[in-house]
Amino acid sequence: MVIVSRLFPVFVVFVTSLFVTGVAQAEVKVLTSIKPLQLIAAAVQDGVAVPEVLLPPGASPHNYALRPSDVRRVQSVDLLYWIGPDMETFLPRVLKGRTATTVAVQDLAGMKLRRFGEDAHSHADDADEHDHDHRPGSVDAHLWLSTVNARVIAARMAADLAAADPTNAARYQSNAKAFDERLDALDARLKKRLAVVEGKPYFVFHEAFDYFEDAYGLKHAGVFSVAAEVQPGAQHVAAMRTRLQEVGKTCVFSEPPLRPRLAETLVAGLPVKLAELDALGGYTPATAQGYEQVLENLGNNLAGCLESL
């Protein structure tokens, strides 16, 4: 009985220490709306945890249909990051029920935002060429394609994670600093890679790349945006083919996973190559270097097609 009575306090201390350690090491659950934000979070959380993403690969952030399980995830995570109402139009109604930290990154201080139709190459005055999903004057929500914005997002994520998980605060801040330094190197590589195709005309189906183009001295010559559910008329197709004929050798870029039905009709018999630019990087692994991989792939695919003409 004496031995038991002496061991009991030791047992209590041991169990208590396990409980305290478990609490201290409880994983902070991070959920992002789209893959690019998950990749930025993965860089900040590297070595601690892997963030989750709401939208599966190939899903449209403009009109995704949430499942009941998605709603439960949105409500249960500790930190949630999304672009904002100009991108994920399906989210505001669900987010009203959240009490934990929720960040619309387009509202962060320091973000450099663009608006559709703010320069000539957006073709805001041409009804046939303008991207009808993006109204002139509305915020261009493809903001993750700017490394300036990615740095701002990473810094906010690091601060939020450090507050929620003080044990790993130094790691989050160190990861954010390393991410920032890697983006310096990425910018230098992309500027060098894309300098060789600066000024070469190309066309896109979706007006999603203005941030990327602005950063690296590029401009698309036209936007062939047609909603997936709408079949364009013959007059519209003829006008777009005329533009392609005027330019001559060029590339027309669509976005995976689906190539618009219009694509083959547009380029038939013309010296035009069809290629893809993946702004979302839907299948990119959630690693510390994933975000850089998405932008590097954009640069290589764009330059590669134009160089091959």
* CA dist., res. 302 & res. 145, Å (int): 14
pLDDT for position 97: 82
| Tens-digit pLDDT profile for residues 8-48 | 444 444 444 444 444 445 789 999 999 999 999 999 999 99
Query: What separation, in Å, do the N-terminal and C-terminal C-alpha atoms of the chain show?
Result: 89
* pTM, two decimal places: 0.87
* CA dist., res. 226 & res. 29, Å (int): 38
CA atoms in the 13 A half-sphere facing the CB of 31: 20
Residue type present at position 56: P
Distance of CA 47 to the CA centre of its chain: 22
| Tens-digit pLDDT profile for residues 158-191 | 999 999 999 999 999 999 999 999 999 999 999 9
List the beta bridge partners of residue 16.
none
List of the chain residues with pLDDT < 50: 1-4, 7-24, 120-132
Contact (CB, 8 A) for 140 and 209: no
pLDDT for position 129: 44
- Of 301, 290, 291, 280, give the one whose Cα is nearest residue 59: 280
pLDDT for position 6: 53
